């Protein structure tokens, strides 16, 4: 940072510009926010405004950029890098004049006139100035006090011996509460999540790019993951992959370290006080390959390949170098260093007396790291690296204060559940998984989708099910037989595997395997929830343990030639629920947020000429926009505006048009249902003949839309597509994985309180089993059967996904 920026950081402003008295500045800022994605659009609007009102004097785009940087404190820090993206000239590379990692040793500088200038740079957006300015708004500063308020409430419960209740966020995690109680985390500290991921800008050519972001855990979970609160960290340009990713994140972490040592002065506009905060990175997240770049461990293929650094040691095939986390010892197996006996779940999950699981892991990690660092030769280092699973110290261990290594590196439920398990299970079901010469696919009696005919028919069922799922579920799973290798998204995999497969495979899979698979589905559905009751956690953990146990006995069968079936994605299931008790619900520190961030800013790239420079500019603009919106919340478009004609019922329930023009009499079963409901509410209706106003839609607190048969029936009769998902889930619900019901049509009616409706579910036709289809009366006995598909994580907008809303109906009658 230059001297001026550093002086501003050490002497933060204490008040916002008064936009009420500076209407001209308000106009300028609103114009910039509305048009800043396009310089041409901004300039066109500036010319139009200045022509209509010359006194407005709207600044040029360049002048406006300087003004916004001054107001927000967002100034990119530019750092030299290798022209081929190998490394950044930071830390031990800071004084080099050429890249030591390039085969051609590319020069750092080029001569420009009489000066030496860097051939290439990248931008880091420092955290401190961004968060400093966010606190200048009373409204935002109050929101940023969420953690302190909740922590105080939780500590009061603990002090009085009360139970903390359902697992709702990281504050309920044992690791966080332990850190607060021992003084490692204070009220004024600033807790952050660091998240890094790579992206490919173009499908058809090499175009790698890495980005990282900051998520502020001082905010509540309903805000911290939203687009306007996620702070950009840096853009690491490609097109080649970085060879030393740590050198690129060094400037941002060096800034955090400086703030930890000196303290960050912040004026809190809500509490009207100046306080000193020290940021603490409570979680650092990445996918599997990215994590091995930042945690210093050997990665998933090593002998100690567990991401959470548990005790389980892997087993390799003869003459192989890849280790697999099999708990059961293979038959006739004598590989040196891998032939240990069967490992129990208790040996992995239980901590020594007097220590928490995280404490035990940290003690073992510290001792093992010391051994690696004391290696005196390459051979000794290689041996100790193999024995310990540690290749180097994590860059995060260089911070003066941290949450603990490796406890600050949690699992990634997004890639684990949505992609890695799918990458294992689907090839097993299809019989396309790697089969060693000593094995025979004909013996894979679990491969129920092996034949091409069955696979194609299954794909058709998946495609047809899309009309049965609510739009609020997000992206519907496409036909896997056609699209599985064409950019099938994590969201599609999630609903395909854990939503549709239990029902679609019921008719064709051996019951033994189907019931075993349902254990996985049950456990995962619970793990994906954002609020997890204690009894559900216990049940989910039991199901996942039994699933892993069954997978090893039913699929792997202690066979050396099937060791590769046991991937880390299977092993990680035994940690899934215990880890949530330790650090909170997995979705709240997953990679969903950065995946959405990457998708957002890459869509904003306006030119293919210099995509990486453009992307860095978009990240800078996102930081400026987010800080401006935090400083001036009145600039944020209102989120809860009622559509025309809507009626708010309270508690987040809203009736939406269309509405019938007049009350209409209801007869027969409907009339009986209405009268029985009113009687249950102790309402005396006398001789009233039931008549009701009909409404087409009901918006639920979750944002989902429940629709009525009144309008849907009209749409179907008109030949329009109808989603049969629009049935509602009542509070008294089943906990079974495959909940099946038979549609009763007009023969069954019940009236319920509108606020008993908590969600919209999909109802997908259940295919008959072969024996059922062969029955002569199958059209009577097995018709109209549907299985339920629920939204996986009912509030997934919390994790950065904006659900597709169903607010508009075509040609509705008002």
In the 8-state DSSP scheme, what is residue 418? I
The Cα 69–Cα 277 span in angstroms is 23
Contacts with 262 (C-beta within 8 Å, 6 or more apart), sequence order: none
Instruction: State phi, psi for 405 to the nearest 5 degrees.
Output: -110, 125
Same domain membership, residue 662 and residue 755:
yes
pLDDT tens digits along 354-394? 999 999 999 999 999 999 999 999 999 999 999 999 999 99
Task: Answer whether 738's CB lies under 8 Å from 787's CB.
Answer: yes
Instruction: State phi, psi for 788 to the nearest 5 degrees.
Output: -85, 135
Instruction: Provide the sign of the torsion angle of the four alpha carbons 751, 755, 758, 762, taken in this order.
Output: positive
In DSSP notation, 195-234 reads EEEEEES-TTS--EEEEEEEEETTS-TTTTTSTTTPEEEE
Q: How many CB atoms lie within 10 A of CB 94?
A: 12
79 strand-pairing partners: 122
Please tell me the pTM assigned to this model.
Answer: 0.89
pLDDT score recorded for residue 727? 37
Residue 806 lies in a domain: no
Same domain membership, residue 623 and residue 652:
no
The Cα 173–Cα 358 span in angstroms is 12
Residue 807 lies in a domain: no
Residue 612 lies in a domain: no
Contacts with 568 (C-beta within 8 Å, 6 or more apart), sequence order: 288, 300, 305, 306, 307, 325, 420
Residue 729: CA count within 13 A, CB half-sphere: 24
Contacts with 764 (C-beta within 8 Å, 6 or more apart), sequence order: 465, 468, 469, 500, 503, 504, 786, 787, 789
Three-state secondary structure string covering 47-59: HHHHHHCHHHCCC
Same domain membership, residue 716 and residue 700:
yes
Q: 359-386 burial, b if ≥16 CB within 10 A, otherwise e? A: bbbbeebeebbebbeeeeeeeebeebbe
Nearest to 466 by CA among 489, 487, 492: 492
Residue 468 lies in a domain: yes
Residue 658: asked if its preceding bond is cis (omega within 30°), the reply is yes
3-state helix, strand, coil in the chain (%, to 5): 45, 15, 40
Q: Where are the alpha helices (DSSP H) in 466-556?
A: 480-483, 490-495, 501-504, 511-527, 534-551
The Cα 193–Cα 676 span in angstroms is 53
Residue 403 lies in a domain: no
The Cα 109–Cα 117 span in angstroms is 5
Q: What token pair was written down for 645?
A: 């004609």
Task: Answer whether 526's CB lies under 8 Å from 535's CB.
Answer: no
Same domain membership, residue 91 and residue 7:
yes
Task: Answer whether 506's CB lies under 8 Å from 136's CB.
Answer: no
pLDDT score recorded for residue 766? 84
Same domain membership, residue 517 and residue 371:
no
Same domain membership, residue 96 and residue 76:
yes
- Full residue range of the structural domain in which residue 789 is found: 647-799
pLDDT score recorded for residue 710? 66
Task: Answer whether 391's CB lies under 8 Å from 383's CB.
Answer: no
Strands 190-200 and 279-285: parallel
Residue 410 lies in a domain: no
Residue 463 lies in a domain: yes
Contacts with 545 (C-beta within 8 Å, 6 or more apart), sequence order: 345, 574
Same domain membership, residue 630 and residue 502:
no
Contacts with 557 (C-beta within 8 Å, 6 or more apart), sequence order: none
In DSSP notation, 733-800 reads ----SS-EEE--GGG------GGGEEEEEEEEE-PPPHHHHTSTTHHHHSTTEEEEE--SSTTGGGGT
Task: Answer whether 312's CB lies under 8 Å from 338's CB.
Answer: no
How many residues can be counted in the chain? Answer: 814
Contacts with 431 (C-beta within 8 Å, 6 or more apart), sequence order: 441, 444, 447, 449, 450
Q: What token pair was written down for 139?
A: 């409204």
Angstrom distances, CA of residue 374 to CA of 368, 369, 436, 777: 10, 9, 40, 76
What's the structural domain count of the chain? Answer: 4
Rounded to 10 degrees, the C-alpha dihedral 377/383/387/390 comes to 50
Q: How many CB atoms lie within 10 A of CB 258?
A: 17
The Cα 718–Cα 712 span in angstroms is 10
The Cα 55–Cα 76 span in angstroms is 32
The Cα 235–Cα 88 span in angstroms is 12
Give 672: exposed, middle or buried? Use CB within 10 Å, 0-12, 13-18, 19+: middle
- Ordered mean pLDDT values, 10 residues apiece, the chain (814 residues): 88 87 85 80 88 85 90 95 96 95 94 90 96 96 97 94 88 95 95 94 86 97 93 95 96 97 96 96 93 93 94 95 96 93 95 93 97 96 96 96 94 93 96 96 96 95 88 84 87 92 93 93 92 88 96 97 97 96 92 91 82 92 94 85 80 81 79 81 80 82 73 53 41 53 67 72 82 67 77 60 42 31
The Cα 325–Cα 305 span in angstroms is 8
Contacts with 463 (C-beta within 8 Å, 6 or more apart), sequence order: 478, 479
Task: Give the 3-state secondary structure of residue 454.
Answer: helix
Task: Answer whether 471's CB lies under 8 Å from 760's CB.
Answer: no
Same domain membership, residue 376 and residue 260:
no
Same domain membership, residue 271 and residue 372:
no
Task: Answer whether 767's CB lies under 8 Å from 501's CB.
Answer: no
pLDDT score recorded for residue 808? 39
In DSSP notation, 743-760 reads --GGG------GGGEEEE
Dmax (CA) of the chain: 99
Q: What token pair was written down for 183?
A: 């003084």
Percent of the chain with pLDDT over 70: 91
Q: Which helix (H) or strand (E) holds 567?
A: none
Instruction: State phi, psi for 429 to the nearest 5 degrees.
Output: -65, -35
Same domain membership, residue 479 and residue 389:
no
The Cα 320–Cα 92 span in angstroms is 35
Q: Which helix (H) or strand (E) holds 703?
A: none
Instruction: Provide the sign of the torsion angle of the four alpha carbons 705, 711, 717, 718, taken in this order.
Output: negative
The Cα 62–Cα 586 span in angstroms is 43
Instruction: State phi, psi for 22 to the nearest 5 degrees.
Output: -120, 70
Same domain membership, residue 579 and residue 567:
yes
Residue 408 lies in a domain: no
Same domain membership, residue 600 and residue 483:
no
């Amino acid at each position: 940072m230059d001297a001026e920026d550093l002086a501003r950081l050490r002497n933060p402003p204490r008040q916002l510009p008064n936009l009420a008295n500076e209407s001209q500045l308000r106009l300028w800022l609103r114009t910039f926010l509305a048009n800043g994605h396009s310089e041409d659009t901004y300039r066109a609007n500036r010319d139009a405004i200045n022509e209509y009102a010359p006194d407005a004097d709207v600044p040029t785009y360049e002048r406006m950029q300087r003004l916004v940087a001054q107001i927000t404190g967002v100034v990119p820090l530019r750092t030299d890098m290798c022209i081929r993206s190998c490394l950044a000239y930071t830390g031990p590379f800071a004084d080099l004049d050429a890249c030591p990692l390039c085969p051609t040793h590319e020069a750092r500088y080029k001569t420009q006139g009489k000066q030496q200038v860097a051939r290439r740079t990248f931008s880091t957006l420092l955290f401190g100035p961004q968060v400093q300015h966010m606190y200048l708004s009373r409204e935002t500063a109050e929101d940023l006090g969420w953690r302190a308020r909740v922590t105080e409430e939780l500590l009061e419960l603990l002090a009085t011996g009360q139970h903390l209740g359902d697992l709702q966020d990281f504050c309920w995690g044992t690791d966080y509460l332990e850190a607060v109680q021992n003084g490692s985390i204070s009220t004024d500290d600033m807790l952050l999540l660091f998240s890094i991921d790579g992206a490919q800008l173009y499908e058809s050519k090499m175009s790698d790019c890495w980005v990282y972001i900051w998520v502020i855990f001082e905010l509540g979970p309903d805000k911290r993951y939203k687009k306007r609160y996620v702070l950009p960290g840096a853009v690491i340009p490609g097109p080649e992959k970085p060879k030393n990713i740590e050198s690129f994140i060094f400037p941002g972490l060096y800034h955090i370290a400086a703030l930890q040592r000196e303290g960050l002065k912040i004026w809190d506009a809500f509490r009207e006080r100046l306080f000193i905060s020290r940021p603490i990175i409570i979680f650092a997240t990445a996918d599997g390959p990215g994590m091995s770049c930042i945690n210093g461990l050997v990665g998933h293929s090593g002998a100690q390949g567990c991401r959470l650094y548990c005790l389980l040691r892997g087993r390799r095939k003869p003459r192989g170098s890849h280790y697999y986390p099999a708990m059961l010892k293979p038959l006739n197996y004598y590989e040196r260093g891998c032939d240990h006996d069967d490992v129990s779940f208790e040996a992995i999950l239980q901590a020594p007396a007097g220590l928490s699981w995280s404490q035990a892991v940290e003690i073992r990690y510290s001792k093992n790291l010391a051994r690696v660092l004391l290696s005196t030769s390459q051979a000794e280092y290689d041996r100790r690296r193999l024995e310990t699973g540690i290749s180097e110290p994590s860059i995060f261990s260089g911070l003066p204060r941290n949450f603990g290594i490796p406890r600050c590196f949690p699992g990634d439920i997004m890639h684990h559940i949505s992609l890695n398990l799918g990458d294992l299970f689907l090839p097993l079901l299809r019989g396309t998984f790697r089969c060693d010469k000593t094995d025979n696919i004909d013996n894979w009696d679990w491969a129920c989708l092996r034949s091409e005919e069955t696979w194609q028919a299954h794909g058709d069922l998946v495609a047809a099910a899309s009309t049965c799922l609510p739009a609020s579920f997000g992206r519907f799973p496409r036909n896997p037989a056609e699209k599985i290798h064409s950019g099938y998204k994590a969201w599609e995999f999630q609903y395909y595997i854990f939503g549709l497969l239990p029902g679609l495979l019921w008719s064709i899979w051996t019951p033994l395997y189907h019931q075993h698979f349902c254990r996985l589905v049950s456990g995962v559905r619970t793990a994906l929830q954002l609020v997890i009751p204690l009894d559900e956690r216990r049940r989910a953990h039991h199901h996942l343990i039994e699933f892993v146990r069954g997978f090893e006995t039913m699929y792997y069968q202690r066979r050396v030639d099937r060791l590769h079936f046991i991937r880390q994605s299977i092993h990680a299931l035994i940690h899934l629920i215990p880890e949530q008790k330790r650090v909170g619900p997995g979705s709240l520190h997953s990679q969903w947020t950065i995946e959405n961030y990457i998708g957002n800013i890459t869509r904003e790239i306006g030119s293919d000429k210099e995509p990486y420079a453009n992307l860095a500019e978009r990240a800078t603009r996102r930081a400026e926009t987010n800080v401006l919106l935090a400083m001036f919340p009145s600039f944020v478009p209102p989120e809860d505006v009622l559509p025309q004609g809507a009626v708010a019922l309270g508690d987040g329930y809203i009736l939406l048009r269309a509405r019938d023009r007049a009350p209409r009499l209801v007869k027969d079963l409907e009339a009986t249902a209405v009268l029985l409901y009113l009687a249950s509410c102790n309402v005396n209706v006398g001789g009233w003949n039931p008549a009701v106003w009909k409404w087409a839609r009901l918006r639920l607190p979750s944002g989902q839309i429940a629709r009525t048969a009144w309008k849907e029936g009209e749409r179907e009769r008109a030949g329009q597509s109808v989603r049969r998902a629009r049935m509602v889930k009542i509070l008294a619900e089943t906990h079974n994985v495959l909940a099946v019901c038979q549609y009763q049509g007009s023969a069954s009616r019940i009236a319920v309180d509108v606020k008993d409706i908590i969600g919209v579910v999909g109802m997908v036709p259940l295919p008959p089993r072969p024996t059922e289809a062969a029955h002569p009366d199958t059209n009577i006995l097995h018709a109209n059967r549907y299985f339920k598909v629920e939204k996986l994580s009912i509030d997934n907008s919390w994790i950065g996904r904006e659900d597709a809303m169903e607010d508009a109906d075509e040609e509705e009658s008002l």
